[in-house]
Amino acid sequence: MSELINKIYANLNYQKQFGNLLYVDKDVKVKDLKNEFINEEVVIKKEVKSNNISKNSVDKNWDKSESLDILRSNIHNCMECELGATRKSFVFGSGDPKSKILIIGEAPGADEDEQGVPFIGRAGKLLTKILEAINFSRDEVYIANIIKCRPPENRRPTKDEVDQCEPYLKKQIELLNPEFILALGLTAVNTLLKGDYKMKDVRGKVLEYEGRKLLITYHPAALLRNPTWKRQAWEDVKQLRAMYDEYMGKNS
């Protein structure tokens, strides 16, 4: 057991020196602990939360970041919630920072965690196809999530995780300054609107989020489970394309 603890502390030191990007071992070893070591696991997790990594994980002036790159570098070592200890990658967002369209999903899954890019797994491939169907490539829009680290087992993010991470997204939105936001699924919608909406109440409508037009459709993972919803999603993204074209026509 002490060998295991030594390894875990060695990993934490490694993380302290090199940051999360190079810190890939994380608490995989912790997960391997047998039941008799559960108490030690709790102690180790507390240690992860209370040591200096947590305090120094984010630049204290991150909210003054003047560009997306600076924001990313100021927050990418975040350890402010427990997901910091289990993630492989901090999935900041990807696409064209000048795009007028921001697409917001829920949280990175396993593939995204592996590669550090949002929406590249099965749901992501469907999102790419949906975008292509309205003549956008992924690189013409910007894609991000409500939270930046993968929840274990792809569970829904907890309220605490969302509360901790949402300010980063808000800052990102301020810097991106999109005209249109497409929220994918109810986690995105209800986080942005601070409500408890059902999809039938919100999709197909043009709502507003902090002075930007907010459109809503099904999360691609939901479309994979319920392909009959694809027709409605198609109507939603066509509406986005039409509004975008109209906006660009007036503003070019």
| Candidates 58-66, 117-125, 222-230, 241-249; binding stretch for ligand URA (CB under 6 A) | 117-125
Residues touching ligand URA, count (CB under 6 A) = 13
Check residue 95 for interaction with ligand URA (CB under 6 A): no
Check residue 157 for interaction with ligand URA (CB under 6 A): no
Burial class (CB in 10 A: 0-12, 13-18, 19+), 153: exposed
Tokens of 56: 């120094």
DSSP count for the chain of H helices, then E strands: 13, 6
| Candidates 28-36, 42-50, 120-128, 159-167; binding stretch for ligand URA (CB under 6 A) | 120-128
Check residue 106 for interaction with ligand URA (CB under 6 A): yes
Check residue 112 for interaction with ligand URA (CB under 6 A): yes
Pick the closer one to ligand URA by CB: 112 or 236.
Answer: 112
Burial class (CB in 10 A: 0-12, 13-18, 19+), 138: buried
Question: Would the CA dihedral through 236, 110, 152, 88 be positive or negative?
Answer: negative
Check residue 84 for interaction with ligand URA (CB under 6 A): no
Residue 181 parent element (H or E): strand 180-184
Contact between 204 and 236 (Cβ < 8 Å): yes
| Candidates 53-61, 107-115, 209-217, 222-230; binding stretch for ligand URA (CB under 6 A) | 107-115
Check residue 80 for interaction with ligand URA (CB under 6 A): no
Burial 79-99 (b: 16+ CB within 10 A, else e): bbbbbbbbbbbbbbbbbebeb
Of 84, 93, 95, 118, the one binding ligand URA (CB under 6 A) is 118
Check residue 93 for interaction with ligand URA (CB under 6 A): no
Pick the closer one to ligand URA by CB: 63 or 111.
Answer: 111
Binding site for ligand URA (CB under 6 A): 105-109, 112, 118-119, 121, 123-124, 145, 221
